[in-house]
Amino acid sequence: MISLKQLCSESPIVWARKNPAQLVSYPPLNRLGITLRVKREDCLDHRLSGNKLYKLYGHLQKARETGATRLISFGGYYSNHLHALAYLGQAAGMKTRGLIRGHEPDQLSPTLQDCLSQGMELEFLSRKDYREFQKESSIAVLQEQHPDSLIIPEGGGTLAGTVGCGAIMQAIREELDLSNSTVCVPCGTGTTLAGLLSHSEEGENLLGFSALKLGNQLESYKSGIENSIFSSDYCATWDIIDELHFGGFAKTTPKLFEFMGEFEAETGILLDPIYTAKLLFSANHLAKAGYWAPGHELVVIHTGGLQGRRGYRELTDMDIQA
């Protein structure tokens, strides 16, 4: 396996070319005449899998430019973002600090144990204090208190987070003809979708599948993504699908786990229940409803997060070693 130090010294386009969009046989879509390809970014590295390293790329460059020696960010007990940040910091020779949502538990989650093993300092905040820290004004105060640090928003958002994500779209275009395709990506902060759109071209179609329960916040959510696109002349068609969120972020139901089991048995591809599983469930639902005509191709970006499976008793087959 390539060392993390070497991986982190490479450029995003090199990462994106490592994992071609794999043609996947999935009978429910096959019967509808829909082709499925999955871009296996979960295979990049199990410690920095999916879109996490791509979103951290721009922040790491910013830290190096400003001379920051510590990376500080936010997340929960099973945060994929903090998990990746801890390993990135260790590989890059930088200190890391995680501000954790919730009280300090008697037993740390496997995710936080991994973070601690990589030298990340952990600070636990009440949910009220954690919400306060998400405000721009509070982040600015935190930055003043730690001038030697770079403060990265929860999930690695902002324009810096979009920079590396565009390479995924570039690699897909190098490999595939997208004239009769839809590129599908799960969305939390919307950072990855903004990066993809920044490198999109006319005639291309992208769909973001929200892991959040947006409700009447859908339009403002889309506006936030629009404002994060760093290319002013992008011209792809795009939209957000948010009907099948299973109750909201990190919420699940037995129906979702049943779907995951069936999909994994058919394809051999493990899913995470927060992002990619919800995307594929929704895409399957849309296809059955006739959203795409026979002959269409779906290119699904697997955004990793498999280490987070350890937080669900229903998913006991994963044994991810740091």
Q: How far apart are alpha carbons 30 and 22 in whole angstroms?
A: 15
Q: How far apart are alpha carbons 153 and 110 in whole angstroms?
A: 22
Domain ranges of the chain: 4-46+165-311, 52-159
- Residue 315's Cα: distance from chain center in Å? 20
- pLDDT value at residue 320: 43
How many helices (H) does the chain have, and how many strands (E)? Answer: 14, 10
**Regarding predicted confidence, which is higher, 213 or 248?**
213
Is the entire prediction scored with pTM above 0.95? Answer: no
Does 62 have pLDDT greater than 50? yes
| Per-residue pLDDT tens over the stretch 291-317 | 999 999 999 999 999 998 988 888 865
Q: What phi and psi, each to the nearest 5 degrees, are found at residue 62?
A: -65, -40
Judged by average pLDDT, the poorest of 82-91, 135-144, 169-178, 264-273 is 135-144
Report yes or no: 162 and 198 within 8 Å, Cβ to Cβ: yes
Residue 267: burial class (beta carbons within 10 Å; 0-12, 13-18, 19+) = middle
* Strand pairing class (70-75; 95-101): parallel
* Strand pairing class (21-24; 35-40): antiparallel
- pLDDT value at residue 149: 95
Average pLDDT over residues 172-199: 95
Q: What is the DSSP string of 81-150?
A: HHHHHHHHHHHHT-EEEEEEESPPPSS--HHHHHHHHTT-EEEEE-HHHHHHHTSHHHHHHHHHH-TTEE
52-159: CATH number: 3.40.50.1100
- 4-46+165-311 matches 52-159 in fold: yes
Does 212 have pLDDT greater than 70? yes
- pLDDT value at residue 322: 38
Q: What is the percentage of the chain residues whose pLDDT exceeds 70?
A: 97
Judged by average pLDDT, the poorest of 160-169, 172-181, 232-241 is 232-241
Q: How far apart are alpha carbons 167 and 164 in whole angstroms?
A: 6
| Per-residue pLDDT tens over the stretch 18-38 | 999 999 999 999 999 999 999
- pLDDT value at residue 317: 55
Average pLDDT value for the chain: 91
Q: How far apart are alpha carbons 199 and 107 in whole angstroms?
A: 43
Beta strands across the sheet bearing 149-151? 121-125, 95-101, 70-75, 149-151
Q: How far apart are alpha carbons 34 and 181 in whole angstroms?
A: 10
Architecture of the structural domain at 4-46+165-311: 3-Layer(aba) Sandwich (3.40)
